[in-house]
Amino acid sequence: MIRICPKNKQRLDVSTNNGGSWMTRCAGAANTGEFLDLVVNGTELIATTENGLFFSSNNGESWIRRS
């Protein structure tokens, strides 16, 4: 499971035990800004952020801006 951190919208958290505990997956990057929404699209994550649309093909560890 992956989520936008409820306390810090620039961070993504991941859980390997169905939400019992959460670990930081992405601590945010200057280019993404705050995450607004996450969608799973096949093998990639798509994120709407305050700085545009980004995608990740490695479970949210890094993000690339999508035009």
Instruction: Specify the pLDDT at position 48.
Output: 95
This prediction's pTM: 0.86
What does the pLDDT look like over 8-67, one tens digit per residue? 999 999 999 999 999 999 887 778 899 999 999 999 999 999 999 999 999 888 899 987
Nearest 5°: phi and psi at 26? -135, 120
